[in-house]
A and B are shown apart, each in its own frame.
Chain A
């Protein structure tokens, strides 16, 4: 209103000059704001090593997020991780995605002001990835998901044996509850040493119709895996694994995290932080959503298991079918 009054007072001959001045002021204002407005978000991806397993999540993360993504490779070297993290602390990106334990640990130790999303870290609690600027995706698939998928491939299972040590005691307790919700009874046998594994199996063998493998070094060595594989096969019961490597070596089925989905899931967390302004501290670490299902058809045949052809559509990888059926886990 004040401007209009001045224009009226100044008369029509001064109006063009006033408008030019105003336009110039607006141009200066917009240009001063432009760098901040136009600059794309920058996300730094820290990967622990140059492993093929990290390619899939980086690719899906980059596709799902609207930002410039710059990848840094620690090359398995914590000292290099320190250097990169310190460099990132100096010129902070908008967010850091840390893949693998070394990357997550380096981010935790040297970066406190930038939001960090970690993924593909075994035992994240061991590295204390609990700073307020950190959240992530854990590696453990919810037991309910695992048992549901086992059930799909082996609908008859109802008494699942598990041999475990102290490291997986909590996991087994959670699994017991989840299995129960699906009508499955978990038959437990705890051991303190791999040498006890054979005897533990013999103790529960008449009570079970399948054996579930847990990631526990007290139980699992190459020797004990071979022993349990032989024992389950001789009793014609499925050996349910957590990694496709065991299925390739003869176990019946495995449910493991899908790396590509981990990238997409990490992007959804990044969007919560960057777009919705949610603090990482308010986003609890979440288990992986996607699964990679591997089935060994030769083992199924040896165990006389009938596989529903429609259920087989859920398998991502089929071992022992035909030469062309190679893994796509590393090359999604």
Chain B
């Protein structure tokens, strides 16, 4: 829900910073492709279309498919990516160096939900409401979320919704049998309107999908550069309102 702002933040501030510092690296931003984030940001209310324009205007390359983008641009050494599994990115030769932290969290999790009292074996081939899911995310979810429950994502009828709350309410009112929603959205709904969450059962939770991560290729950027970069990101107008801090990722 908050990560799009980080994409803007990266898109607008980082190029300026890079230019000022005489740095030569370029940033590829992959905004909001997982469907985990909200359409508008809580602080700025900036819409998806505006974000894309801002990123393009700032000269940031926006890639929708990292698997293609990374090999195609060997000169790019710094990446800002939202909503991805870090594990998957390591396989692409990228090393995570910093994660955005907000409210004590560095990422979102998706929760598979159904109505209380519904038997799992009756849910095969039924309807699932969720925000759009990229191919990569689908693969991850199939393994980490659906297989443990005995369900197959590929066998479900997928209804794409714009917001997680639509999926929650569709499950609640029986319009669909399953929902896949951002844990924060679900918690938020439960906090504001407790009766809605009361009849909802959480079947499985995904691994953490980082809000936004800075990643480097071949460790071409050293630690002081990253520290300076993240400090500047936080001190910006948007950063102040959206980021508590950038947390260094400890090497394994």
Q: A residues within 8 Å of B by Cβ?
A: 60, 64, 142, 144-145, 148-149, 151-152, 155, 181-183, 258, 260-261, 264-265, 268, 271-272, 276, 286-287, 289-293, 308-316, 318, 321-322, 324-326, 328, 331-332
Contacts and interface: CB of A to CB of B under 8 A. Distances in A.
A149 B157 contact: no
A328 B47 CA distance: 8
Contacts of B90: none
A306 to B, nearest CB: 13
Contact of A261 (B1, B50, B127, B159): B159
A155 B193 CA distance: 8
Contacts of A289: 129, 159, 161, 166, 170, 175-176
Nearest to B49: A328
A60 B50 contact: no
B202 interface: no
B148 to A, nearest CB: 25
B166 A151 contact: no
Nearest to B48: A328
A149 B165 contact: yes
Interface stretch (B18-26, B36-44, B59-67, B228-236): B36-44
Interface of B: 1-2, 38-43, 45-50, 125, 127, 129, 157-163, 165-166, 169-170, 172-173, 175-176, 185, 188-189, 192-193, 195-196
B172 A152 contact: no
A310 B188 contact: yes
Given A155-B192, A309-B43, 13 more contacts: A149-B165, A151-B192, A261-B159, A261-B162, A264-B159, A268-B127, A291-B163, A291-B166, A311-B42, A311-B188, A314-B165, A316-B163, A328-B49
Contacts of B47: 324-326, 328
Contact of A148 (B41, B176, B193): B193
Contacts of A325: 45, 47
B38 A313 contact: yes
Contacts of B2: 313
A67 to B, nearest CB: 15
A261 B172 CA distance: 17
